[in-house]
Amino acid sequence: MKISDFLQEKRINVQLSVSTKEEAIQAMVAMIKDDAEVVNADVFLKDLMDREELGTTGIGLGLALPHARTDGVRGLVLLIGRLVTPVDFKSLDDQPVSLIFLMGTPKNDVQNYLKVLAHLTRLLKKEVFRNTLLHAKDSSEIIGCFNREES
């Protein structure tokens, strides 16, 4: 399973301008509210926020992986947001977040959910790869980064 299989240019924002993690999550869900994969954007947003209450999805290294199993989506959705100004996500390393990878899957899709989260985490541990994503000029370049890394 490749991350690049789930990426779409319209689901990537390399100029996300927000002040808080809540605004970031809201802005990213708004990017896909009219997508065919989205059953109910409000339910998806609520489930993401509820998950965030359980514990931070700020994993450190300037990264956050907000995610939820939800009735708000029909299939796995993955969005990427690169923040203009890093925001506090209460990350494990107390560092602000610059890159957000937001994911939602239907509640009954545990297998793909776990596989994608694990694979994404492995890729993001690579410093050179993270730096490439931080300096990509647009969404197509971000997708290209994933294609190269996963080939």
Q: How far, in Å, CA of 148 to CA of 151, rounded?
A: 5
Q: How many domains does the chain have?
A: 1
Average pLDDT, the chain: 95
Asked if 60 contacts 88 with a C-beta cutoff of 8 angstroms, the reply is no
| Domain limits for position 145 | 3-150
Range 45-82 burial, b when 16+ CB lie within 10 A, else e: bebbbebbeeebbbbebbbbbbbbbbebbeebbbbbbb
Kindly report the pTM of this predicted structure.
Answer: 0.95
Name residue 72's amino acid: G
Residue 139 sits in a domain whose CATH number is 3.40.930.10
Name residue 24's amino acid: A
Query: pLDDT, tens digit, for every residue of 104-142?
Result: 999 988 778 888 889 999 999 999 999 999 999 999 999
